[in-house]
A = this chain, B = another copy of it.
Amino acid sequence: MKKVLVLEGSSRPNGNTEALTNVLMNGIERTTIFLREKNILPIVDKRHDEDGFSIVNDDHDALMKAVFSHDILVFSTPIYWYSMSGIMKNFVDRWSQTARDERFQMKEEMKRKEAYVVICGGDQPRIKGLPLIQQFQHTFHFVGISFQDYIIGHAGKPGEIWNDTYALSAAQALNDVIKEKIHTQP
């Protein structure tokens, strides 16, 4: 059975993105990590230093181990300024360090993963959120993750997501797809 990890990028508990993600994940066993509860320092780019990256004493390595030990990743983030939250961005930025960390085989691990993305915003998200979707695609492609699908919710104020029948219906339809996928041998 495939293992599912939800990475929540919001700075606010119980927001619209989280609610929409819960519709997508309804009845599916999963681990959820709230990135806001973790200590993830911004990357210090040392790709071109002779000695390479310095080990950083925060939660990033533990998070990457969680990523590696699951099969399906769900990136869930509100749209902050037409992009993922800075909280999630700092997490993703650090992948550049993990990719060069000999303790991990990031590329080997990542290319077995499948990903879904859930984003929500209040300002024409199904138009203005598209560059963010394209960035997820470029990122997933680079590390070898297979981008399965995404949901874009239209919601600003708390609870508004329940009016977005398009996103809710799409999430329910994908819920079935994921349930079947979980029980399918690769």
Q: Find residues 21-54 in chain A having any chain B CB closer than 8 Å to their own CB.
A: 36, 42-46, 48
Chain A interface residue number, banded: 35 or more
A76 within 8 A of B: no
Copy number of this protein in the oligomer?
4
A108 within 8 A of B: no
A126 within 8 A of B: yes
A130 within 8 A of B: yes
At the interface, is chain A mostly helix, strand, loop or mixed? helix
Contact yes or no, A127 B133, CB < 8 A: yes
Seed contacts A36-B44, A81-B135, A168-B173; 19 additional CB < 8 Å A-B pairs: A12-B48, A15-B45, A42-B86, A43-B80, A48-B158, A83-B84, A84-B89, A126-B149, A126-B150, A127-B133, A127-B134, A127-B147, A128-B138, A131-B138, A132-B135, A165-B174, A169-B170, A169-B173, A170-B170
- CB-CB under 8 A for A42 and B139, given A157-B48, A176-B165: no
Q: What are 14 A-B pairs at a CB distance below 8 A?
A: A11-B42, A11-B44, A12-B45, A80-B89, A80-B92, A81-B92, A86-B92, A127-B147, A128-B138, A134-B134, A166-B170, A166-B177, A169-B169, A170-B173
